[in-house]
Amino acid sequence: MASDATSLLNRAQVLLGNGQPDAAFLLLDEAEAESANNLSFSYLHGLAALESSRPGIAVLSFQRAIRIQPDFAGARLELGRAYYANGETDLSQREFEQLLLLKPPPEAVRVIERYLVAGEQRQVRNVASLNLTLGAVVGFNSNANSGLSRETLFGITLDEQSRETSSSYTGGQLGVDGKLPIGDHWELAAGVDGSTRRYDDTSEVDSDSYGGQLALSYGSGSYRITSQFGGEQRDIGAGIDYRNLRTGLSVLKQLGESWLLSSSYSYGQLRFSEALENRDVNSREANLGLYRFFNHGWLKTVGAVALLGRDKRPAAEADIGEDWSRKLLGGRLSMDAELSARWGLALSYINLGIDYDEPFLAFDGGNREDRLQLVNATFTREQLLCEQCSFQLTLGYTDQHSNNPRFNFDGSNIGIGLERSF
């Protein structure tokens, strides 16, 4: 029997070493009833459970190992990690603090301190809060009106509003948001905000907007489920404004310590003013994302989100007499980095392909197909001028290509902003 148990543990260790924690857990779990009182088995069973995203089972296994040998520092360290992964932050903090009293080696101390800091940050997030944010921005856009970089189209001379126009701009924003934890698992969050932007050389695209959002979330262990509702009213100049209402559901699943899986589904209604009411849109969109977190070095987060949606609106009576639809398929890549103690960098790249079933919009008699690409880099400097102030430098580039030349445009943007939180 002893040789069989040793062979089982050796096989499980090989699987864990080869990056197969799920297979190791299933192998060990079959023998749990007869091996539960074995110290090595309980510890290895807990490791396999934790690495295969079963933190609740890992907690029980490490607790059992500590009952067998109370001074087993390795099991206490892993129990703290399991508590944290299972969303039991208070127990995790207590376990790590007790472990420090045992004077673990330097490498273990670094791991413990990292978890203690993360736990404190998580506990802060679980406290009711109310925040006020004021912001101002100045910048320059090489194509503020998303116009064409040509003077004629199909032999017709374009007016100034249709041609590419560069302009400097100024803007401001005001926002209030708060959150209220409800019990151990629920949280209610709400916010309202407003913004304005004014262009010096193309005032027809001046814009004002205001909106609000409400969210209710439930978190337990490695899951968080959030339902949300939001609305925005925006005036985009030239007598045109629209109202955007959206509701959705999102699910976050923590995969071990370093990975996060996200999925969401949303439904929205975009309603234009009377001048463009035939462009009203009802939209549905589904997203699936995967994020990787890094605990060492300057790189903090890398993420990828796949987007798949379908938009549909009823055609106006004066239009072509039938509904049209819009299919969107693309993705988003993002990266967050910590360049120094106070400087951060966020990069994003978005690539969307949109297929409009609108023969009347395509110059060649076929459907209209667009490809939109957006690249943004934002440098952030915290605690500039005051403790609650942050400085932002944003660089952006937008490029849209279509099989209808009327919708081709590109442009770059640079903005400098300052935010103050209260």
* Identity of the residue numbered 17: G
Of the candidates 182, 178, 188, the one whose C-alpha atom is nearest the C-alpha of residue 130 is 178
Domains 2-123 and 128-421 share a fold: no
Mean pLDDT of 319-345: 75
* Identity of the residue numbered 64: R
Are 42 and 78 in contact by the 8 Å Cβ rule? The answer is no
CATH no., domain 2-123: 1.25.40.10
Q: Distance between CA atoms of 34 and 46, rounded to whole angstroms?
A: 16
Give residue 355's pLDDT: 73
Give residue 274's pLDDT: 67
Q: Is the pLDDT of residue 153 over 60?
A: no
State the pTM of this model: 0.68
Q: Distance between CA atoms of 31 and 386, rounded to whole angstroms?
A: 59
What residue has token string 């100024």?
170
Per DSSP, the three-state class of 377 is strand
* Beta-strand relationship, 281-293 and 259-272: antiparallel
Give residue 320's pLDDT: 38
Per DSSP, the three-state class of 329 is strand
Q: Which residues are registered as beta bridge partners of 325? A: 312
> For the chain, which residues make up each domain, given as ranges?
2-123, 128-421
Tokens of residue 23, six digits:
């297979």
CB-based contacts of 224-231 (< 8 A; 24+ apart in sequence): 224/251, 224/252, 225/249, 225/250, 225/251, 225/252, 226/250, 226/251, 226/252
Q: Is the pLDDT of residue 227 over 90?
A: yes
Q: Which residue has the higher pLDDT, 220 or 320?
A: 220
Q: Distance between CA atoms of 6 and 33, rounded to whole angstroms?
A: 16
Give residue 422's pLDDT: 84
CB atoms within 10 A of CB 153: 15
Are 28 and 47 in contact by the 8 Å Cβ rule? The answer is no
CB atoms within 10 A of CB 339: 12
Q: Is the pLDDT of residue 181 over 60?
A: yes
Q: What is the pLDDT of residues 63-119, one digit of tens each?
A: 999 999 988 888 888 888 888 888 788 888 888 888 888 788 888 888 888 887 777
Q: Distance between CA atoms of 250 and 224, rounded to whole angstroms?
A: 8
Q: What is the pLDDT of residues 19-77, one digit of tens each?
A: 888 888 888 888 887 887 888 888 899 889 888 888 889 999 999 999 999 888 888 88
CB atoms within 10 A of CB 323: 11
Per DSSP, the three-state class of 143 is coil
Q: Distance between CA atoms of 375 and 400, rounded to whole angstroms?
A: 12
The pLDDT-based confidence of 315 (bands split at 50, 70, 90) is very low
How many alpha carbons fall within 13 Å on the CB side of residue 321?
Answer: 0
Q: Which CATH number fits domain 128-421: 3.40.50.300, 2.40.160.40, 3.20.20.10, 1.10.1660.10?
A: 2.40.160.40
Question: Under 8 Å CB-to-CB from 39, ≥6 apart: which residues?
Answer: 65, 68, 69, 72
Are 92 and 55 in contact by the 8 Å Cβ rule? The answer is no
Tokens of residue 351, six digits:
């690539």
Question: Under 8 Å CB-to-CB from 381, ≥6 apart: which residues?
Answer: 342, 343, 390, 391, 392
Q: What is the pLDDT of residues 167-178, one digit of tens each?
A: 999 999 999 999
